[in-house]
Chain A
Amino acid sequence: MIKTEHLTKHYGSLTAVEDVSFQVSAGEVLGFLGPNGAGKTTTMRMLTGFVTPTSGSASICGHDIDTEPLAAKAALGYLPEGAPLYGEMTVRQFLGFIADLRALEGERRVARLAHVIEHLQLESVLEQTIDTLSKGFRRRVGLAQAIVHDPPVLILDEPTDGLDPNQKHEVRALINSMARDKIIVISTHLLEEVEAVCTRAIIIARGRIVADDTPAGLAARSRYHNAVTMQLEQPSQLLAAREAVAALPAVAQVEMSERDARLTALPHSGATILPALSELAARSGIKLKELHLESGRLDEVFRTITA
């Protein structure tokens, strides 16, 4: 379990993180969201013992990071922001070095190294120096060092930053495959990532926690929660359709996009409008290309909360 209590970090008069408290249990994938400079990285650095908090405490699997740093650090794997590595080493040397520091020995060492090399597809670059690797490979080497000792807690600072869509997909699949029995904390500013891998999201802004919920729960805060979007086959019907939709009693507001002949109807809070809309379309002869129910837009929630 990860537990933080009132974590606070001041740099001079600047407050980077203020009174951050949360707990994460095994099986949870916690997404740490926030605008750049919100305090995500500072919080992760306090969790991993790299930055000493001004006040408050953090513990990893029951080991306080300040009073039992070695036990706490042994229980966690960490990918720092930007995946810093030793550029002059080859991938094989580097992973060997980390395995040594992680006190992996004998058969387990061989097996764990083989495991991470296979899962992060590093076989082809093992003898290359890290300086010569592409950004995608460097990030994967960074991930490999974080999981080589199979830690119960993983803390990943922007694990998919700079990866192409295929690599992002692979890394997310890797995180999902480890999620069942580990505690994983990832920081990101990609909202799609939260939906793809996280079971819970904390949004942090100006150093404070402003939301702590499941991705679905966050999406439900959106004014688009339960909204219905319809795309018309004939743009000429758009204005008439808009009138008709707006006239429905449960509809609070209608947004229109002329470019792709799309209407979005926002319900009064708690109301369900999908059946009424589909009935309306059938009744008044509006031909639809598409009709779907929205669960909410995370980006809109994110902007509203952090603005």
Chain B
Amino acid sequence: MRNVGIIMRRELASYFATPLAYVFILIFLVLANAFTFYLGGYYERGQADLDPFFTFHPWLYLFLIPALSMKLWAEERKSGSIELLMTQPVRLREAVLGKFLAAWIFTALALALTFPLWITVNYLGSPDNGAILAAYLGSLMLAGGFLAIGSCMSALTRNQVVAFILGVVACFAFLLAGFPLVLDVFRSWAPQALTDAIASLSFLTHYESIEKGVIDVRDLLYFAMLIGFFLLATGIALELRKAD
């Protein structure tokens, strides 16, 4: 576990050694606020909650998270530094976890920097702060799910642009798994049970209940298992393709 921390710290520091961290945080904050005020009608609704803020997170993450995760492994493979890392006395799973955690902590930081909205809503009215906290937690879990998928896509290729596109498509499929756009693809030929199973994988369904302030253990478990699954897949992809 010690190595997880070492790798995580190096990775986090590398975000801030390049413009990536600053650009990402800036764009995230600008877009999050723009969506909240212009699309969400934060003032017009006349309600003291952060619903218009959280509603747009899945769509914001859809493009921003793959942009963050695309470099996780594709860059290491492209530059060859993966050979340096994998020949240190480090387990593959420690490296996969360390890098994922660095990206997740970084996203958590960007999310935490939206705190002025929370202050504003408390100034304007008396919102249910418990529900807001739950929504933040849900948003973080959602980001974790996206990041794990992105990590896996990044492990599949040496090309960051390809990793980004694969990431967006895979995240989009998971986001809308409960909607006709995705389900119709399966409905025509797959048994009902499979279609239902796919529908139950939808990010949006699981996110929406947490976002409303209802923390259901099943929703948290869903995200945790999804993250675990895709990190495992990342490890397998790397094991097979790291030296190609």
Contact = CB atoms under 8 A, between A and B. Distances in A.
Interface string B7-47: 10010011001100000000000000000000000000000
B91 interface: yes
A89 B91 CA distance: 22
Interface in A100-130: 100-103, 129
A81 B83 CA distance: 9
A88 interface: yes
Interface stretch (A26-34, A72-80, A201-209, A215-223): A72-80
B120 interface: no
Given A50-B243, A70-B91, A73-B88, A86 B10 contact: yes
B14 A80 contact: no
A88 B14 contact: yes
Interface residues of A, number: 29
Contacts, number: 64
Interface string B60-93: 0000000000000000000111011011111100
Contact of B84 (A103, A129, A145): A145
A71 B10 CA distance: 23
A50 B6 contact: no
B3 interface: yes
Contacts of B14: 86, 88-89
B242 interface: yes
A62 interface: no
A80 B6 contact: no
A81 B91 CA distance: 22
A46 B36 CA distance: 54
Interface in A72-100: 73-74, 76, 78, 80-82, 84-89, 93, 97-98, 100
A135 B18 CA distance: 21
Do most interface residues of chain B lie in helix, strand or loop, or is the interface mixed?
helix
B81 A50 contact: no
Given A50-B242, A89-B17, A129-B17, A73 B89 contact: yes
B88 A98 contact: yes
A288 B226 CA distance: 83
Nearest to B244: A11
Interface in B217-240: none
A45 interface: yes
Most chain A C-beta atoms within 10 Å of own C-beta, residue among B2, B87, B88: B87
A80 B80 CA distance: 9
A70 B83 CA distance: 15
B17 A88 contact: yes
Contacts of B10: 86, 89, 93, 97
Contacts of B81: 84-86
A45 B3 contact: no
B228 to A, nearest CB: 23
A51 interface: yes
A43 interface: no
A51 B10 CA distance: 25
A29 B130 CA distance: 66
A97 B88 CA distance: 11
Contacts of A93: 10, 13
A303 B25 CA distance: 58
Given A45-B243, A88-B14, A93-B13, A101 B3 contact: yes
23 contacts: A45-B83, A48-B87, A50-B87, A50-B243, A70-B89, A73-B89, A74-B89, A78-B84, A80-B84, A85-B81, A85-B84, A86-B10, A86-B14, A86-B81, A87-B79, A88-B18, A89-B17, A93-B10, A93-B13, A98-B88, A100-B6, A101-B88, A102-B89
Interface of A: 45, 48-51, 70-71, 73-74, 76, 78, 80-82, 84-89, 93, 97-98, 100-103, 129, 145
